[in-house]
Structure 1
Amino acid sequence: MDQFRNIGVIGRMGSVKVVETLRALRSYLLSENYQVILEQDTAGMLPGHGLQVASKKLMGEICDLVIVVGGDGSLLGAARELAKSKIPLLGVNRGRLGFLTDISPSDLEVRLGEVLQGEYIEENRFLLDGNLERDGQPLGFGSALNDVVLHPGKSTRMIGFDLYIDGHFVYSQRSDGLIVSTPTGSTAYSLSAGGPIMHPKLDAVVLVPMFPHTLSSRPIVVDGKSEIKLVIGDTNETYPQISFDGQMDIACAPGDIIRITKKPFKIRLIHPKDHNFYATCREKLGWASEITAS
């Protein structure tokens, strides 16, 4: 197990509850003689903190562990920035669902203490890279831990596009777009669009059509090593967009090509020792834990 000494802390902006947890986290880590490094935007929420401050990029070079206080979106952002550094991430949930940020603020010291003493499990989660090309020239790039989504933006018109997997033509489709999701993202936007839940250990990607024009269009699960190519139809009257974890949008034009592949770097996600994916699903998705009499 890794020995964590230099611990980076990132907090979601604009939340009083996050600030409360950040203060408690700072006090606990200092009392246990850990070196604490605050992310530069997070530092602005803790005036007079007296700690070292660093950019996310620098944190990836000097930290042994990064703790993210916020929701899953906060951890997604940290993962995209820190994947290349191979620094393990631990999430403290101050959001809503919390599939990735699974330590509760109410038992922060106990759970964090266990993790810092080596009582944890580690998962490797892969990300997706998306590249946009126009007339053979690169136009935009993004990474996603959850999903890469082709969507109509503010338009209400359907998008026409062709789908290729590993160079093989799959279909032409008219729909509101397509969600290309990792197993991590299968419990997020993909799920709400009718996609399957995939175990995080799977090396697979799911393609989920959004309101397709034909009822025969269904989600497709493919090998995680696949190259997915989307070609925006030349006859589109709208300029669709491609988004990465819902955070960054790149405008597309008719004829553009989007290539989506697995990122070469994985993130290291730390969980408490008793973490269980199916228990998380029961809790977060409201699955029954026993058969009750009617």
Structure 2
Amino acid sequence: MEQFRNVGIIGRLGSAQVLDTIRRLKNFLIARQLHVILEDSIAEVLPGHGLQTSSRKLLGEICDLVIVVGGDGSLLGAARVLAQHKVPVLGINRGSLGFLTDIRPDELELKVGAVLDGEYLSETRFLLSAEVRRHNEAIGQGDALNDVVLHPGKSTRMIEFELYIDGQFVCSQKADGLIVATPTGSTAYALSAGGPIMHPKLDAIVIVPMYPHTLSSRPIVVDGNSELKVVVSKDLQIYPLVSCDGQNHFTCAPGDTITISKKPQKLSLIHPLDHNFYEACRTKLGWGSRLGVHD
């Protein structure tokens, strides 16, 4: 198993609970004689920490492990930067759902200690890359671990667009928008819009129309290596938005083309040994537990 010596800490700003957990984590890692590096923004709100600080990008280059303290949104933001550096990422949950950040604060020392001892599960999650082109010129680009969403922004009008998969025309559609999600993102916004839950190990992309004009329009699951092209109708009266993980946004004009495909660099995500995707679904999504008749 890999030995973690240089450990970076990223945290969500604006939360006293996150800062409390970061202080505990920092003290725990120092007690284990590890080299701890704080992300710049967190270091600013921890006066007197006495530790090395770094930009998020540089953390990916110099760390053997990066621990994110916050919710899934915090990990999504970190993942988009850290994936290209192949540094493993571990999440401590200070948010609500916690599909990606799966260590509870009260078990910090026990679970993080086990990971540092080499007792962990490691998996890769792929990201999507989205590019908006206008008159064959790139005007916007973004990455997403969860989803790329075409939506009307503040407008209440429907969007009309054409969908192509690997160069083949699929359909033209009127809808409130379109969600293109990874397996990681299948339990997020895509699920709310009626998409299927996909196991994280699947190499697949799900395309979920949002409130489509036709009742027969349904989500489509395609191969993870597919190239998707969404062409915004030239006759559209509004300027829709493209959002990556709900955090990065850029504006489209009528006639623009959005190309979405798998990003070559993957995120390395670490879990405690007792992590179980189906157990996470049960607890986070309120699925029924055992009836007590089976061992």
- Tell whether the structures are fold-level matches, with TM greater than 0.5: yes
Q: Which amino acid aligns with 1:194?
A: G
Match in the other structure for 1:23: 23
Q: Quote how far apart the aligned CAs of 1:61 are.
A: 1.1
Query: Structure 1-normalised TM-score?
Result: 0.99
Number of positions where the alignment pairs a residue of Structure 1 with one of Structure 2: 293
Match in the other structure for 1:102: 102
Match in the other structure for 1:86: 86
Match in the other structure for 1:230: 230
Q: SS of 2:174's equivalent?
A: strand
Match in the other structure for 2:65: 65
Give, in whole Å, the separation in 1 of the partners of 2:195 and 2:44: 39
Q: How does 1:159-238 map to 2 (within 5 A)?
A: 159-238=159-238
Give, in whole Å, the separation in 2 of the partners of 1:289 and 1:266: 33
Q: Which amino acid aligns with 1:107?
A: E
Kindly tell me: are residues 292 and 155 of structure 1, through their superposed partners in 2, closer, same or farther at Cα, counting changes over 3 Å? farther
Q: Which amino acid aligns with 1:257?
A: T
Q: Structure 1: which 4+ aligned runs deviate by more than 3 Å? A: none
Match in the other structure for 1:262: 262
Q: Which amino acid aligns with 1:79?
A: A
Give, in whole Å, the separation in 2 of the partners of 1:61 and 1:244: 24
Match in the other structure for 1:250: 250
Give, in whole Å, the separation in 2 of the partners of 1:143 and 1:222: 19
**Residue 133 (str. 1) matches residue 133 (str. 2):** yes
Q: Which amino acid aligns with 1:127?
A: L
Q: Quote how far apart the aligned CAs of 1:147 are.
A: 0.1
Q: Quote how far apart the aligned CAs of 1:60 are.
A: 1.0
Q: Structure 1: which 5+ runs fail to align?
A: none
Q: Quote how far apart the aligned CAs of 1:290 are.
A: 2.3
Query: Structure 2-normalised TM-score?
Result: 0.98
Q: How does 1:36-75 map to 2 (within 5 A)?
A: 36-75=36-75
Give, in whole Å, the separation in 1 of the partners of 2:61 and 2:237: 46
Q: Quote how far apart the aligned CAs of 1:292 are.
A: 8.2
Give, in whole Å, the separation in 2 of the partners of 1:160 and 1:168: 18
Match in the other structure for 1:10: 10
Give, in whole Å, the separation in 2 of the partners of 1:141 and 1:26: 35
Q: Which amino acid aligns with 2:28?
A: Y
Q: SS of 1:139's equivalent?
A: strand
Q: SS of 2:179's equivalent?
A: strand
Q: Deviations over 1:160-200 (max 9, x none)?
A: 00000000000000000100000000000000000000000
Q: SS of 1:201's equivalent?
A: coil
Match in the other structure for 1:276: 276
Q: Structure 2: which 5+ runs fail to align?
A: none
Q: Deviations over 1:62-104 (max 9, x none)?
A: 1000000000000000000111100000000000000000000
Identity of aligned residues (%): 66
